[in-house]
Amino acid sequence: MLLSMSGIVKNFGGVPAVSNTTLELQAGEVHALIGQNGAGKSTLIKVLTGIYERDSGEVLFEDSPCNFQSPGEAQVGGIATIYQELNLVPLRSVTENVMMGYEPKRFGCFIDWNEAHKRTRDILARFDIDIDVTEQLGKFSTAIQQLVAIARAVSLEARLVIMDEPTSSLDASEIETLFGVVRDLRSSGVTVLYVSHFLEELYEICDRVTVMRDGQSVAVHEIQNKSKLELIGDMLGRDADEIEKEGMTQLGHGFVDTGELLLEAVNISTGQRLKNFNLSLHRGEIVGLGGLLGAGRTEAARALFGIDPLITGKLRVSNQDWTPLSPREAIEKGFAFLTEDRKVEGIIPDMSVRENLTLALLPVLSRGGQIDRAREKEIVQKYISDLGIKTAGMEQPIRELSGGNQQKVLLARWLITNPAILILDEPTRGVDVGAKREIQLIIRDLVEKGVGVILISSEFEEIVEGANRIIVLHEGESVTELTNPGITETALINALAHGHVGAA
Amino acid sequence: MKRSTFSLKRASKHGGLIALVILLLFNILVTPNFFQLQTLSVNISQVATIAIVAMGMTLVIATGGIDLSVGAVMALSGALAPLIFGSQFGIDYPVLGLIAALCIPMIVAMLCGWFNGAIVAYIGVQPIIATLILFISGRGIAQVLTNGNLQTFQNPAFSYLGTGKILGLPFQGWLALAIAAILALVISRTTFGRYLLAVGGNERAASLSGGPVRKVKIGAYIICSALAGLAGLIVVAINSASDAARNGELMELDAIAAAVVGGALLQGGRAPVFGAILGAVIIQLVKYTLLANGIEDEYALIAKALIILAAVYLQMGRRGKHA
Amino acid sequence: MLDAGSFDLRRYISRNPQSIAVWIALLALVIFGLIRYDNFGGAYNITAFLNYNAMFIIISMGMCFVILTGGIDLSVGSVAAFTSVIAAYLSPHGIEIALPCAVLAGLVFGMLNACCIIYLGIPPFIATLATMIGAKGGALVISGAQTVAVDWGSNFTKLGMEKAFSVFPWTIVVVAAVALLLWVVLEKTTLGRTVLAVGGGEDASVMMGLKVNRAKFFAYALSGGCAGLAGVFLASGFGAGQPLEGIGWELSAIAAVVVGGTLLTGGMGSLPATIAGALLLGLVFNLLNFENGKGVVSISAYWQMVIRGAFLFVVILFQARVMKSRSQRVAG
């Protein structure tokens, strides 16, 4: 046994993120770790690699107890991690990102750059990548950056390599390359811990799988013995048959007749990352945007909301031509945009729930520059109770709320503006299972009231079950459209991986 | 473990006031002649100008920026005033002259603020560099205007700004309090104030919520420079003389120190306006305490450094470790 | 420079466009000066100019490292004043004693900054602001608030006032040696590359297992040490330790670093370009003096300040435009 984690407990501010969890890895296996957002997977990994300190539990690595205090220690100890957020430094060169801290030296202290570049090229060649390694990392696509991150882990000769959503931005051929690398690692005795949303992939390269739910490990299986539906059942804590009948999310809404055309986007481009985007949206409709990481989904949303200026293309809102020049104008036109990363673009951490909630509505709530405090409190109270936001009061600083409740406040920020078109970018990311259901119900409710929703989500079941139509983006262009009823996750994944109409 | 963090949190929340009370008590007990009108007047006089600039600085810091040009703006506005009411126009029309001498420097100061704000908001230059431009050249402009000369004058109406008294205490002290009250209201009750804090707290979120980020930033710099302009006028009024080389020298440091001790966070998001006054008072009191008890000025500087570190450290304890 | 393998000029230009500005401006001003003023290119002016600016070049280099980590050091001016007093006091024992002690004093201040920033978590701006104020007070205390004359009898003033082989001022020799050493550290050692990585992404650097605290500690200590050395130059070049000098030096250093193309947020920058930036800012001053000497137009000291401010403004505008066009070309 290479790694044994048992009885792991980790609390944040009294709330358990991980409790009584077990994870056991054999040497030389590829082991999958699956679970919904908020199930505790990344917390468990961060406990193992020394980013968090565990509250209790035992960790045995290579038969000796270990308690890494920092990622550096974990690396030295033989565990390398590749995070989805790609913890690399874009301003520095590719070679530096791969070799940093372990550069080949001459006379013991002077970096031998020629050797460093050569080694980096050699490692990348194993992945069939041939790039200028002296160039800044940030100049390359997300896919290349992801492979560079993996190259670093490989070059560190770790005994355990943890990969967190490694294929989220890779196309079909790049995925094959990655799988080759993983098989390579396995045959040289390295263990791989593989975290992924794409359950199909696991069947191709994983041996066993651990399922997490609500902060606990609930099952361990030989992957070939379980069907995908059974795995999903373990993840959701529901019966597999029930899921098959009722769906995984709360978003399926029977695809009622949709209303008139709300929005039409033709040939939109804003730069390198969004080159040709087309979309039409009707009242009461959910249009999903599908695509890999870096395909341009968020860029499409930013274009519609007036954040990035349009280079080409036209927008028509309710049959009138319109050019979005700023978020403020978009809001006045009836758009709302719940962004992807609430920490970076969403919450104002030191402000209260009330202040965060009304931020987009201030022009409406004030007269002559002065805010109508009474009206503000009234309307905030209404939304707190309507959305079931758990808070000690509207004056509580938002940073003290849980992820799910913060997300609800942000959702309320937009709902309060009474939008006609609501763009949601990963609305249930980092949100616990209970809040996730509630948010999904709120969305469904909105749609039934006639709001048009554009949904971006990396939890495929949300778009597969919820969207009337899915527009698939590939490298900044909308390439395919799938229509419900009838979309299956397989069809979606195929469309994403191959990226061209008719290539499936 | 829980107990000590509890009292540390409490201490840091009211730390400023506690420190003030301790200092006052110490001085009342130990320092001779402390609680006399004369001493208080002198102290308030010195504190008021720093406090006024510090309040403006607090607003700029709340947006996540900094303004190094406040001293230069003080010199500039202080140089303009005597030129105006001392000119032919000012002598012929004393009332208009006085009004012009008060308004034109303020307008010029606001233009400086607009300049700073525009470079930060429209060109995207870091505030420390953007305001460095006026820091370097503003005082030069002032000295060009006055030919480097010290301007002395006699103008009782203008001098009221610096030497006038209400209820026995200096006018500029009352002025500082009035400004603090107005600013505090603006921050808590207006959309401008709300957006100001939002821009500092999370600029991207503020922008995505439709906040007029650029206008708010420029507004903060304009207010800061306007207050610096006012402070420049007050200094000139106190001395009945305008020395463009010295007016406002090193004021930016004092203002930043006062703002920070008063609770402003450099990354933005908080605008404790009364805190700026408190910070200025504490620093001034420590200086006075040392001086009045025979310790040289130089040690006051070291004490000031320690106060700043202590204040910031305690306030960080209050926010706790948040990711 | 991104990293030193073999040097490719075209690549250097395309990768560091904001650094081009400083080299072009420097060249342009030098040519302008050579054409317009008689003694500009003469040995006297060059050596006097370099000698005087040695102090600023040194602190700019230290500041460069600090800014590369994404921090800032406001204390360099005050620390230089403090160490100039120390050096003056120790001058009777000769430069061999005075210099190391003064540099050590500077290092101590730098380490003080580092500890406040790393272990107490105080933001660099505040921590170094406090040190600036404290060092100023300290300088006044140990000097009794007056300038401290050096011992003219010892070899102390040789550093600031004399030349190596009668050609290069000693100060410049020292600066060149330090510059070379620091360049090697930045380009060729893990420590130097970690400094760059920390500024480019501190969280990522931690995740990559880099010794982030060590890099920051080094940067601030170095900056203090450079300020210490500048203090020695000050005392040795002017014959006295001056506790009230150094005001505004940190801003000149920051300006030099920024003009040289280093990002204020860190992660990318070049030491040679920083030196060019310091030279450029000093050159503006030098040219203005010459213009005055010509007697055609008299530019008062006050106009000089205005011109320097305007100059900085123009450079900043240029850089902003370069950055903007660059970010538009790269993947949005």
**CATH number, domain with residue B268:** 1.10.3470
A148 interaction partners in chain C (CB closer than 8 Å): none
List helix spans (H) across chain B.
2-30, 37-62, 70-85, 88-92, 94-118, 127-146, 156-163, 171-189, 191-201, 203-208, 213-239, 251-261, 273-292, 297-319
* Confidence class for position A151, pLDDT limits 50, 70, 90: confident
Within a domain: A341: no
- Name the residue with higher pLDDT: B53 or B298: B53
* Confidence class for position C322, pLDDT limits 50, 70, 90: confident
Q: Choosing among B188, B208, B316, which should be mutated to test the A contact, i.e. which has the most A CBs within 10 A?
A: B208
Quote the CA–CA distance of C49 and C279 in Å, as a whole number: 9
Quote the CA–CA distance of C265 and C254 in Å, as a whole number: 12
The CATH architecture to which C9-329 belongs is Orthogonal Bundle (1.10)
Quote the CA–CA distance of C266 and C275 in Å, as a whole number: 17
Q: How far is B222 from chain A (nearest CA, A)?
A: 18
Q: Choosing among A348, A406, A422, which should be mutated to test the B contact, i.e. which has the most B CBs within 10 A?
A: A348
Within a domain: B323: no
Residue C1 has pLDDT above 60, yes or no: no
Which tens digits make up the pLDDT trace of C210-248?
Answer: 899 999 999 999 999 999 999 999 998 888 888 988 888
Which tens digits make up the pLDDT trace of A196-229?
Answer: 877 888 898 999 999 998 888 888 999 888 888 8
Query: What is the DSSP track for A385-440?
Result: HHHT---S-TTSBGGGS-HHHHHHHHHHHHHTT--SEEEEESTTTT--HHHHHHHH
Within a domain: B50: yes
Check: CB of residue B106 under 8 Å from CB of residue B206. no
A310 secondary structure, DSSP code:
P
Quote the CA–CA distance of C313 and C302 in Å, as a whole number: 17
SS3 B175: helix
Within a domain: B304: yes
Q: Is the CB of C133 less than 8 angstroms away from the CB of B143? A: no
B64 interaction partners in chain A (CB closer than 8 Å): none
Check: CB of residue B16 under 8 Å from CB of residue B278. yes
Q: Which of A244, A268, A293 is the last residue of a domain?
A: A244
SS3 A190: coil
Same domain, A122 and A52: yes
Q: Choosing among A46, A304, A351, A409, which should be mutated to test the B contact, i.e. which has the most B CBs within 10 A?
A: A351
Residue A27 C-beta-side C-alpha neighbours within 13 Å: 11
In angstroms, the Cα distances linking C200 to A77, A92, A415, C88 are 26, 7, 37, 40
Same domain, A104 and A165: yes
Quote the CA–CA distance of C315 and C256 in Å, as a whole number: 11
Matching residue, tokens 């009898």: C153
- State which residue of chain B sits closest to C307, comparing Cα positions: B137
Residue B12 has pLDDT above 70, yes or no: no
Phi/psi at B209 (nearest 5 deg)? Answer: -90, 10
| pLDDT at res. B319 | 55
| pLDDT at res. B320 | 45
Task: Determine the average pLDDT of the residues in A147-157.
Answer: 84
Check: CB of residue C102 under 8 Å from CB of residue C252. no
Check: CB of residue B60 under 8 Å from CB of residue B123. no
Buried b / exposed e over B36-64, threshold 16 CB at 10 Å, is eeebebebbbbbbbbbbbbbbbbbbbbbb
Matching residue, tokens 């000097």: C143
| pLDDT at res. B4 | 44
For the record, the structure tokens of A488 come out as 């299956």
User: CATH number, domain at A77?
Assistant: 3.40.50.300
Same domain, A257 and A239: no
| pLDDT at res. B1 | 39
- Name the residue with higher pLDDT: B317 or B222: B222
Q: How many interface pairs between B and C have CB atoms less than 8 angstroms apart?
A: 131
Check: CB of residue C117 under 8 Å from CB of residue C71. yes
Same domain, A22 and A164: yes
- State which residue of chain C sits closest to B69, comparing Cα positions: C309
In angstroms, the Cα distances linking C151 to A16, C88, C170 are 69, 7, 18
Residue B162 has pLDDT above 90, yes or no: no
Task: Determine the average pLDDT of the residues in A106-131.
Answer: 88
Q: How far is C305 from chain B (nearest CA, A)?
A: 5
| pLDDT at res. A118 | 93
Other C-beta atoms closer than 10 Å to the C-beta of A245 total 7
Q: Which of A222, A244, A266 is the last residue of a domain?
A: A244
Which chains form contacts with chain A, at 3 or more CB pairs under 8 Å? B, C
Domain count, chain B: 1
* Confidence class for position B5, pLDDT limits 50, 70, 90: very low
Residue A115 has pLDDT above 80, yes or no: yes
Crossing angle for the helix pair B37-62 and B70-85, to the nearest 10 degrees: 120
In angstroms, the Cα distances linking B126 to B67, C30, C316 are 11, 29, 10
Within a domain: A342: no
The mean of the pLDDT values for chain A is 87
For the record, the structure tokens of A100 come out as 């940093």
Q: Which of A244, A268, A290 is the last residue of a domain?
A: A244
The mean of the pLDDT values for chain B is 87
B-facing residues of C in 55-94 (CB < 8 A) are 72
Same domain, A58 and A71: yes
**Residues in CB range of B261: below 8 A, 6 or more apart:** B16, B275, B278, B279, B282, B283, B307, B308, B311, B312
Quote the CA–CA distance of C282 and C34 in Å, as a whole number: 16
What is the SS3 assignment for A316-341?
Answer: EECCEEECCCCHHHHHHHCEEEECCC
Which tens digits make up the pLDDT trace of B165-190?
Answer: 888 788 889 999 999 999 999 999 99
Say which of A350, A371, A413 has its CB closest to residue B209.
A413
| pLDDT at res. A69 | 87
Say which of B129, B135, B139 has its CB closest to residue C264.
B129
List helix spans (H) across chain C.
9-15, 17-36, 43-68, 76-90, 95-118, 124-143, 158-161, 170-188, 190-200, 202-207, 212-238, 249-259, 271-294, 301-329
Query: What is the DSSP track for B82-127?
Result: HHHHTSHHHHHSHHHHHHHHHHHHHHHHHHHHHHHHHIIIII---H
Say which of C3, C184, C199 has its CB closest to residue A93.
C3
Within a domain: B15: no
Range from A252-261, B99-108, C3-12, C243-252 that averages highest in pLDDT = B99-108
* Confidence class for position C329, pLDDT limits 50, 70, 90: low
**Range with the poorest average pLDDT among A229-238, A389-398, A418-427, C121-130:** A229-238
Residue B108 has pLDDT above 90, yes or no: yes
**Residues in CB range of A254: below 8 A, 6 or more apart:** none
Residue C39 has pLDDT above 90, yes or no: no
Q: Is the CB of B306 less than 8 angstroms away from the CB of C132? A: no
- Name the residue with higher pLDDT: C322 or A421: A421
Residue C46 has pLDDT above 60, yes or no: yes
Domain count, chain A: 3
Q: How far is B320 from chain A (nearest CA, A)?
A: 11
| pLDDT at res. C5 | 47
Within a domain: A344: no
pLDDT above 90: percentage of residues in chain B: 47
Residue B9 has pLDDT above 60, yes or no: no
Whether B316 has its CB under 8 Å from any CB of chain C: the answer is yes
* Confidence class for position A498, pLDDT limits 50, 70, 90: low
Residue A504 has pLDDT above 60, yes or no: no
- State which residue of chain B sits closest to A337, comparing Cα positions: B208
Q: Is the CB of A100 less than 8 angstroms away from the CB of C332? A: no
Beta strands at C148-149 and B165-166: parallel, antiparallel or unpaired: unpaired
Q: Of B247, B250, B265, B280, which is closest to residue B314 (Cα–Cα)?
A: B265
Q: How many interface pairs between A and C have CB atoms less than 8 angstroms apart?
A: 108
Same domain, A190 and A265: no
Task: Determine the average pLDDT of the residues in A18-47.
Answer: 87
pLDDT above 90: percentage of residues in chain A: 36
Crossing angle for the helix pair B171-189 and B37-62, to the nearest 10 degrees: 30
| N-terminal to C-terminal alpha carbon distance within chain B | 21
Q: Is the CB of C209 less than 8 angstroms away from the CB of A110? A: no
Quote the CA–CA distance of A311 and A321 in Å, as a whole number: 16
Q: Is the CB of A72 less than 8 angstroms away from the CB of C190? A: no
Per-domain boundaries in chain C = 9-329
Residue A499 has pLDDT above 60, yes or no: no
Crossing angle for the helix pair B127-146 and C301-329, to the nearest 10 degrees: 160
Quote the CA–CA distance of C41 and B289 in Å, as a whole number: 56
Question: What residue numbers bound the domain in which A114 lies?
Answer: 3-244
pLDDT above 70: percentage of residues in chain B: 93
Quote the CA–CA distance of A97 and C208 in Å, as a whole number: 9
Task: Determine the average pLDDT of the residues in A345-362.
Answer: 94
* Confidence class for position B212, pLDDT limits 50, 70, 90: very high
Which tens digits make up the pLDDT trace of C142-166?
Answer: 998 888 888 888 788 888 777 777 7
Q: Of A81, A405, A35, which is closest to residue A215 (Cα–Cα)?
A: A35
**Range with the poorest average pLDDT among A91-100, A309-318, A426-435, A460-469:** A426-435
* Confidence class for position C184, pLDDT limits 50, 70, 90: very high
Quote the CA–CA distance of B14 and A213 in Å, as a whole number: 44
Same domain, A85 and A182: yes
Same domain, A155 and A63: yes
| pLDDT at res. A13 | 67
Dihedral of alpha carbons C298, C301, C306, C309, sign: positive
Phi/psi at B233 (nearest 5 deg)? Answer: -65, -40
Q: Residue A494, class by beta-carbon neighbours within 10 Å (0-12 exposed, 13-18 middle, 19+ buried)?
A: middle
Give the angle B40-B301-C58 at the CA atoms, nearest 5°.
150
Would the pTM count as exceeding 0.90?
no
Q: How far is B312 from chain A (nearest CA, A)?
A: 17
Say which of B137, B267, B305 has its CB closest to residue C310.
B137
Check: CB of residue A45 under 8 Å from CB of residue A21. no
Matching residue, tokens 């305490």: B289
Q: Of C211, C252, C307, which is closest to residue C73 (Cα–Cα)?
A: C252
- Name the residue with higher pLDDT: C324 or C1: C324
Q: Of C240, C182, C192, C237, which is closest to residue C215 (Cα–Cα)?
A: C192
- Name the residue with higher pLDDT: A12 or A111: A111
A307 interaction partners in chain B (CB closer than 8 Å): 208
Task: Determine the average pLDDT of the residues in C19-33.
Answer: 86
Query: What is the DSSP track for B15-32?
Result: HHHHHHHHHHHHHHHHST
**Residues in CB range of A4: below 8 A, 6 or more apart:** A23, A24, A25, A58, A59, A60
Crossing angle for the helix pair B297-319 and B2-30, to the nearest 10 degrees: 150
- State which residue of chain A sits closest to C190, comparing Cα positions: A101
Give the angle A289-A295-A299 at the CA atoms, nearest 5°.
75
| pLDDT at res. C24 | 85
* Confidence class for position B3, pLDDT limits 50, 70, 90: very low
Question: What residue numbers bound the domain in which B257 lies?
Answer: 35-317
Which tens digits make up the pLDDT trace of A40-98?
Answer: 888 888 889 888 888 888 898 888 888 888 888 888 888 988 887 778 999 899 999 99
Which tens digits make up the pLDDT trace of A361-395?
Answer: 999 998 888 999 999 999 999 999 999 898 888 99
Check: CB of residue C68 under 8 Å from CB of residue C196. yes
Residue A359 has pLDDT above 90, yes or no: yes
Residue A503 has pLDDT above 50, yes or no: no
Which tens digits make up the pLDDT trace of B37-75?
Answer: 777 888 888 899 999 999 999 999 999 999 999 999 999
Quote the CA–CA distance of B209 and A336 in Å, as a whole number: 9
Q: Which residues pair with A469 in a beta bridge?
A: A287, A483
Whether A348 has its CB under 8 Å from any CB of chain B: the answer is yes
Same domain, A451 and A487: yes
